[in-house]
Homo-oligomer: A and B are copies of this chain.
Amino acid sequence: MPVMTPAELWQETGRWDSMDAILFKLRDKSAHEFLVSYTHEEVVTHHARSEILSYRQLPAMVYHFQSKGRDELRPRAGLLRTREFVMKDAYSIDADAAGLDRSYELQHQAYVRIFERVGLAAVSVESDTGAMGGDVAHEFQVLTEAGDDRILICSGCDYRANNEKAQRRIVAVAGGQAAALPSEISTPGISTIDALVASLGLEAADILKTVLLKGKDGEIVAVVLPGDREVNEAKLRKLLDVGDVRFADEADFQRAGGVAGFVGPVALLARVVIDTSVGDRGYVTGANRKDQHLRDVVAGRDFQGERADVHDVREGDLCARCGGALTLRRGVEVGNIFKLGTYYSEKMGATYLAADGARKPFVMGSYGIGVGRVVQTIIETNRDDRGIVWPFAVAPFEVHLVALPMKASQVRETSDALYAMLRFEGVDILFDDREESAGVKFADADLIGIPLRVTVSTRGLAAGTIELKLRNEAEARHIATAEAGRAIADTIRRMREAR
């Protein structure tokens, strides 16, 4: 699959425009447009519609490793967030939702095994589908303070979710229906929740804040939520189907009839979104007049709007599933998997001939692992003060062969023979044949961190032995020279079996 994807494919799905802010775009000399591929759903869907004609060819899965480009505003933290990076991405193509469920479960299980094998304690959490579209998604998160994702974890059950997606159990808010109708209160110069709390002697939760935003196609959106809650951008992006949530500008305030600092939902000329945190009770809100608020405002009675969960869940909130307390942890997302469903295939007319003779859209999934950030996270969690301790499955070599010194003819001959024999046995070896001291070579071996170090030395050969030392063990073994090759091959075989 290409690094450069023709614009046409992304125009079919609309992502050419909706994801413009993060795409690297270019033109060739004939003015054809391309993007430096951000991801490959469009390309795979295109191949599927070209190659897969019948249900007999399903299910199918494809994968590749490829460089991706994302015009990130804030590259950070080494390999954690870069503008160019290598991804392993896989795609499943099924005939129906049940097939996708099976493919997704297979991939989910494979991801669990992959992260175990590479030495990462990754947990799978429910996540937002974000720019990928589709219905269901999971991220694999390594919980560490170095991460920039926020993960809610239930103390009572196995519920785990990215805060972009997390839900909570909402307990009915005290206060009941306000009997009184809204009435104005004078609040000169008091335009923040904190100031209202101080001035009126209320809790922040007694106040509704109204956030004016730009929706799609010039629409103005008012999000209404209790004063002690924060808007969750990811949930809003999804609800409003926009790539980026932007605040309303002055012209929008005028069109909507809102007054900055005193904006409220009553009689506002905007699409009103009422967060699920808003209870069935009276609140204080802005009055859309300068220096005025309203009290006893009830959602559904005094203003109308659609209900949606658009608030941040936080530490101490209750699990939506079991009611247990949620804790908030930071995490590094090392993989993510998506049930795309027919999101791409319908937009791109990617269909197959079903068993009943009908044309049906492919039901797809996509599955990604960020290779660079996985490597960085492995190193951060598998090291000691001397260097890296590579998990066997991802070590760049299996054996680090050290000759001491290379210029001694017996050392050289024995090392060369051992190297050749192990290569033919299919063992991956890094051979340190430099003219350096034992201290330098051992320090480099520890730094690089290959699982098994094999040392052929003048002193060892005089005693008839070769030294084997595992990077993650303190003690070395000394094996008779003639048996060393076999012993090394056997050790590697056992490590392969265990990984």
Chain A residues in the interface with B (C-beta under 8 A): 2-4, 21, 24-26, 28-29, 34, 36, 66-67, 69, 71, 73, 83-84, 423-427, 492-493, 496-497
The reply to whether A29 and B21 contact each other, CB–CB distance below 8 Å, is: yes
A12 to chain B, nearest CB (A): 21
The reply to whether A71 and B28 contact each other, CB–CB distance below 8 Å, is: yes
| Cα–Cα distance between A297 and B138 once the two chains are bound (Å) | 82
Chain B neighbourhood of A493, CB < 8 A: 424-425
Chain B neighbourhood of A29, CB < 8 A: 21, 71, 73
Chain B neighbourhood of A36, CB < 8 A: 3-4, 26, 36
Chain B neighbourhood of A83, CB < 8 A: 4, 28
Chain B neighbourhood of A424, CB < 8 A: 493, 496-497
Chain B residue nearest to A34 (CB atoms) is B24
| Cα–Cα distance between A423 and B426 once the two chains are bound (Å) | 10
A18 to chain B, nearest CB (A): 15
| Cα–Cα distance between A21 and B493 once the two chains are bound (Å) | 53
| Cα–Cα distance between A394 and B102 once the two chains are bound (Å) | 34
A149 to chain B, nearest CB (A): 23
| Cα–Cα distance between A424 and B26 once the two chains are bound (Å) | 47
CB-CB nearest 5 A-B residue pairs: A426-B426, A26-B26, A3-B67, A424-B493, A28-B71
Which residue from B26, B73, B423, B426 sits with its C-beta under 8 Å from A24?
B26
- CB pairs A–B below 8 angstroms (7 shown): A3-B84, A4-B83, A24-B34, A28-B71, A28-B83, A67-B67, A425-B425
Q: Which of A21, A73, A423, A424 has the most CB of B within 10 A?
A: A424
Chain B residue nearest to A20 (CB atoms) is B29
- Contacts A21-B29, A69-B4; is A423 near B496 (CB within 8 Å)? yes
| Cα–Cα distance between A497 and B425 once the two chains are bound (Å) | 10
Chain B neighbourhood of A84, CB < 8 A: 2-4
The reply to whether B24 and A25 contact each other, CB–CB distance below 8 Å, is: no
| Cα–Cα distance between A25 and B73 once the two chains are bound (Å) | 20
A449 to chain B, nearest CB (A): 21
The reply to whether A4 and B24 contact each other, CB–CB distance below 8 Å, is: yes
| Cα–Cα distance between A36 and B69 once the two chains are bound (Å) | 11
A107 to chain B, nearest CB (A): 19
Chain B neighbourhood of A26, CB < 8 A: 24-26, 36
A249 to chain B, nearest CB (A): 20
Chain B residue nearest to A428 (CB atoms) is B426
Chain B neighbourhood of A21, CB < 8 A: 29
| Cα–Cα distance between A83 and B30 once the two chains are bound (Å) | 13
Q: Which of A29, A34, A423 has the most CB of B within 10 A?
A: A29
| Cα–Cα distance between A54 and B71 once the two chains are bound (Å) | 36
Q: Which of A28, A84, A426, A497 has the most CB of B within 10 A?
A: A426
Chain B residue nearest to A3 (CB atoms) is B67
A185 to chain B, nearest CB (A): 45
| Cα–Cα distance between A69 and B34 once the two chains are bound (Å) | 12
| Cα–Cα distance between A426 and B34 once the two chains are bound (Å) | 41
Chain B neighbourhood of A69, CB < 8 A: 3-4
| Cα–Cα distance between A21 and B73 once the two chains are bound (Å) | 30
| Cα–Cα distance between A424 and B423 once the two chains are bound (Å) | 14
Chain B neighbourhood of A496, CB < 8 A: 423-424, 426
Chain B residue nearest to A494 (CB atoms) is B424
Chain B neighbourhood of A425, CB < 8 A: 425-426, 493
A469 to chain B, nearest CB (A): 21
Chain B neighbourhood of A34, CB < 8 A: 24
